[in-house]
Structure 1
Amino acid sequence: ADDVLILVQVRSVLFHEIIRALIRAGVPTPGADRLAVTTHIGVLDMMALGDVLSNPADDLQLAALLRSPLFDVSEDELLAVAQPRGDKRLWRPIQGSDIPAVKAAYEQLYGWRNRLDFERPFNFYADVLYAGGGLRQMRGRFGSEIDDVMAEFLDLALSHEQSPQPSLLGFLAELRSREVTIKRELAEGGAGVRVMTVHGAKGLEAPIVILADAASTERGRDRRSVYLRAEPPLFVHASSAATHAPATTGFKDEADGDQLREYWRKLYVAMTRAEDELYVTGYLTKQGKVDGSWYEAIEQGLGPLSESLTDADGNTAALVYPRDRPAPARLKPVEVPADFGGMALDFKPLPERKPRKVLRPSSVEAPSDPDRTLGTRLEQGLDPVTARLAGTALHALLQHLAKVAPAERPAVAARALPQLLPEAPEQHQVLQTKALSILSRPELAPLFAEASRAEVPFLATALHKGETVTIAGRIDRIVSTPEGVLLVDFKSDADPVMEPARVKPGYLTQLGLYALVAKQLFPGQRIEAAILWTGLESLLKLPDAALAEAARGFTIR
């Protein structure tokens, strides 16, 4: 496959169909040399995922997502679950479907909805593509070019996080308003059949070159409507031949002549890319003619000197130039010497793979329960899933409403909660009241001021009981002032305490590890840690000694 180079004049439908056919046939190919990222089908699938997780009522995007490589639900399976469903949203029938592919898709989407971080699209999509295996599934349908597309997609997500108010919905809106194209370097071999434009192949060669659209001409491609002259200074606009005046017709003829000369120069470039074999083919235009095309010129020049091959019906199937050519020489067998001079190859066994142990500060005391403990009086009586979602929604409100003017917060919260917690509309007013009350307290104002940051993730390598572990966590709030750094974690216990001695050991370990990591991030500064009890709307600072004792046994490397 590395020996083949397929050339086209322009990136038309044929260009993309050739790549698609190579992928379907299992022929290695690096894909296109130029890719439109924001309109690529793989990126559209990623955007559909964001739309569905933000709004499960979007039936069209949900159907498109199910047919994407992420889930690969067949047309028949999608039809079976979607029709007839009456006035129900598509989300409901897939929720109760017993079709294996549809059931698996619902479980995956439900899991992603529960873990969705509304501020950081990069973290979410990186998890979908890598930890969730999405990139591997897309590569099976789109080929290796999807690697470059998704890499650029994640770069765009990371850039969006530098904006004043990053969010998943904001990222999707930004993508739909932009046109991003990447140029890929296909000059190196080893990736399979290269498909390129003739212009992009300048300077390259390959043993086998195929001119895939040699029957096409330049006629009708040039949409030029502006003609410039330096002497004398002249600007002419004519959108078509009919709009030209007699005095300007020569300008169009001159431009058409330049275009035609460039057309034939590109034929020279295309033919000289072949080191050994050149295949000339193409598809007929609507007129069914090859007049004035590369194909006609090559056929007229080489046809009389070529051998005509016919098919079973006696029709000409191909012309092979030259007619008189030597038969391929037989390969001589290579004798492999049996004696290697006494040198034996001794391959040592690969070392045993040691999986990395990951500890999360919030679950060191109870590794089997990685989720936050959410047991507020507001959430009593709710099922565990809704309780977790309600806690996540409250975190999101505190995070985002802090950036909104106080007078506008009620309206913003009312619009946000249907997106944050569509499963429990009866909790919207309760959560809104709680968030606005916390944000309005003067003693808590420094936690949400400009010197603070929300939802700060970290990854650190540490020694724990003689074992190397990775500590992965996310600090709810960091407040940096000249006096030091304050780490805050939100807790929603049903029975909060205001005495540090009565704080649960698991909470002390969590905040102690936060403080241990923060000392590496903010060297030389005083580090404090506190719990914000959302039920009491009060802040409890923890003693340094208790934090140090809780983190005993951990050493940051």
Structure 2
Amino acid sequence: MITFEEVLAKTKRKLDENQLQAVNCDTNCVVSAGAGSGKTTVLSYRFLRLVLEKKADCDQILTLTFTRKAAKEMHERIHAQLLQFKSDPYVATQLSKFPDAEIATLDSFCSKIVRCDCTRYGIASDFSIDDEANKKNAQLCAQALMEENTFGEGARILAQIYNPEQLIDEVLVPLATQHYYLPKILDPGIVQPILDAVKTKYKEILDSFYQLLLSYEGFTASSKAVQSAREAASILLPAFDASDDYGVMLSLLGSSNYFWTKPGKGSGDDIDLLRETSDSYKAMRKQLCLALSILTHGQSLASVLAFLCEYQKAYQREKRKTGILTFSDVSSLAVDILKVNPSLRSYFKNKFRYIMIDEFQDNNQLQKDLLYLLSEKEELCNGGIPSYQDLQKDKLFFVGDEKQSIYRFRGSDVSVFKQLSSELKQNGGVALSLSTNYRSEPELIALFNSLFPVVMENHGESYEADFAELGSRAKKDAIEASCTLCIKPFDSADQDEGEDELAVGVDSEASAVALLMEKMLHTDEYLIPSETGPRRPEPKDIALLMRSTSSQLSFEKALRRYGIPYTLQTARSLMLEAPSNDLYNLLQLTIYPEDRLAYLGTLRSPFCNISDAGIVSILESYEENPLPFGTNPVLSDDDASRFEHASHFFSQLKDYVKTKTLSELVMHLWYESGYRLSLVTHAETQVYLEHYSFLHRLAQIKEKQGFGLSQFLDFIRENLGQNERLDDLDVIKEQSDGVQIMSIHKSKGLEFPIVFVASAGTKLMNKGSSLFAIQDTVIPYFMKNSFHETEKKICVTRGLKDFFDSGEEKLREKAELKRLLYVAFTRAETHLVVSGCFNRMNRNKNGDDSADNLLLLACNGLGLDIDSLAGKNTFVQVKRIEDVSEKSLYARKSESPASEDEGFEQKSDWYRQPLEEVDLLPSRYGVTTIFGVSEEAGNEALRLPLLDCDALFLKIVEQEKKKNPMQKDPYSPAADFGTLVHALCESRLLGENLPDERQLIPIPLARRLDEREKKQVLADASSLCDNFFACDLYRRFVQDTSFKCEVKFFSVVEYQGREVVAEGAIDLLVETPNEMLVIDFKTDLYKKAEVHARQVLTYLQAVERLYGKPARGCVTFLRQCGNEVWWKTNIDEK
């Protein structure tokens, strides 16, 4: 049997001393793994070591990650490592168990626990997880309850404090979705403990205030301020002694009386004391008034809490009824189930011998409790959360980096990760560190080591991250790393008067950034390493990161102006640009043909491209017959031809919208109309090509939410012209060909040769929240009371937050800002650029000494004067961003009147050419369309076992024929059933843990099924998957090999007398040392392999071209696997 040491000797990857120490650790351990330190390598090699040393089987190690992408990467890496040594009998045995290895996200694992005992909470085991659907349910529950309780006291109070939109969207929905998760139940009895807490703090402040008044009572000096203080004491002290009535005390302390001006000059004991304590007097008096406001509104608090209890019950009833939960529900339920179900807790404790958790700095106390429950000593099973003394001493292995905890908005808490080290060390565990950064050049590491000790300096607060010096790798040959600060200093002077107005700061910054990128791309000043030596960077080697994408549009425009391609992770400008408007206009006409504006937009868009004169003629005839493309206007030959083609396409589209899904419609408009080709034709519009990814994704999201076309158009209409980020519309790309623009949060886990941290001077406008958590209960505002904070200034208080908030929330936000800077900087491999503008609001000249934006943080850490831009760090180059004229923002680089005229003439000549006849036949087909089953099953085909859902599908077909008797190709569910089976097989092959397999049912089929029918279809699909995993084909060729699922390809073939592109996806592609194996799944009722031979041949030819190996393939009929026929590229050779 091969040993782990032999594996290390044979693999190319060499582990450093710290990595080896972590891999070989056999006690509870917390590994602090900095950016680029190889934490994924450590986790995968530790998994391998535990298996090879027979400490655990593959299915006895629980490996948890933060994202599905990370789980998939971990799964593939560990599997690939084991496959290298599959000839070893023990490794082969472990490979057979690897499909059962639990490598998943924490959310999906929690879902698995909850499904074991969810009926205890009245939840069906086939529940689904959908945060968006839950948000809608919360809105509906809130609206219904407010209507039912219009005259209820709690509803009345809330309606007086908040406007209706605020109350629903900013109070009740966040309370329900973020705080009132299952199985938590609000306790109305919490009111008294809250009031008791207020009273306790009130008495503490009152005692200090009373003592201060006693000192004022003894004043003898004659100054006006001293006399005012003595008078205040003489009135307030007897009042405190005489009455405990909170209302009386509030009217006294909340009045405009008993204030004075803080002494400026003068001396003497009384004046000195008053000068020192006047601010304290006002602060304590304000705190007393805040407390008294709460205590006099105790009944209002009780009424609001009673209303919230009703709301929570209604919302949780809806959850149980619909079976739709949130991720927070699942996490909380999983912990509760393990606490109250000893047998299930014991099962999971015994199932997993080791637990490894990645990115734990992004988790919270609830998730820590879950892991402690799973790691409790076997002989124990106490009711609550185990203490660290009750944990097994060698089960837990945490990996994380407190400096990269940047997800507070998702509930992560860096203090939980920091606390782990001390707890586990007290129980025999260890805390290790992976300090070497293998990503960045040594010069950048030296910069980080000088910058971040200053930035991250703290006084031991639990929410602060501690920075430790980073180690570095060897310098790459002939590579000179760099760090550049591009800064526009604050200028208090007004703009110079002149012919050209100056652009705003962010536009000037964007122009400077684009100019520097152009220099990087076309000179040798910013070389980056490659396998063949130093080279100039390409656009895809550059990332432009921003804390907020609010100014993204300015950078997009600047990059377009300089002809630099880019790609987006978040399309803020999606609804501002032409593609969204063009697609909206054409789809709008299919439902609302009378929309004149949409018709005009369509005529001018690339869908028609009609000239101005042509549009005038069309609109004149349109007045007589107001239907799109319903007239025969007098047009030039060119316009007439375009109009005819557009009319034909629109006629087809009107039929398409009746049967196609939203995503299919978007794809049809983008590709089949020629719209994409129109963008490709012009360099300046090619940047819009990736808008398709966002529009298609938006259509998919709205499909999932049950939107029809009219609702989809309503949504787009509301957002057109808005420079806003659309929620959940982020598209992650494996490969990008342009500058990658994304938020810093999206860049986490990625690395780039060149990083721009742009718009670094931006301050996020935090509106704050009216919600406040006290004694594990979150409460909104429940009153509106005012009092005098000074003689003239009035303070309005609405709830507990004003009284209890100590300002820690702001300190936590600033602590995360420091970590955000660290994450942004450590994405860079070779060159780092920081750009930003200082203005009147972000320099913090008159505030405290803490920075509230990334640019000021960096400047302060580097010792850079933000006015003169002078600094001491010689490695950092500082460049001043100069003003640019607003006119220059709308001109392309190097554009001149002469070049404009030349370009116009060239384009005019091209447009004057006669329009060639256009072949409207598609140029791309699916392989199954070209080589579909052309022969009848007949007597030669073997009939396979029937499924229960076959009868259901026949019923659907009959219903479709009745509904649309004239339709040429009525909907058939068989193809969608095949898609479902393929998706299930792929999911199981890749070891994915799906929270809800119903999501895999294609939308057209799901729409036609009720819940019972969905369960039946899923059960039948699952049985076909089981057939495959139990068959000889899987055991012989797939189980212990390297494979890929759904491998997409394009191939040129001859079809209908012309060359076309055949597009296909290979269900399962297995790579062996000598050949490639293609396995195609079929769910057909009749087995006749020969009818699929041409399809398989196309797959084989494509695979041999792509991989350079001989290939053979087969079709396996999942209703009855076995006796597969294999083909080679010579179709007659089997």
TM-score when normalising by structure 2: 0.25
Q: Which structure has the greater CA radius of gyration?
A: 2
Query: Hey, which of these two has a bigger chunk of strand by percent?
Result: 1
TM-score when scaled to structure 1?
A: 0.47
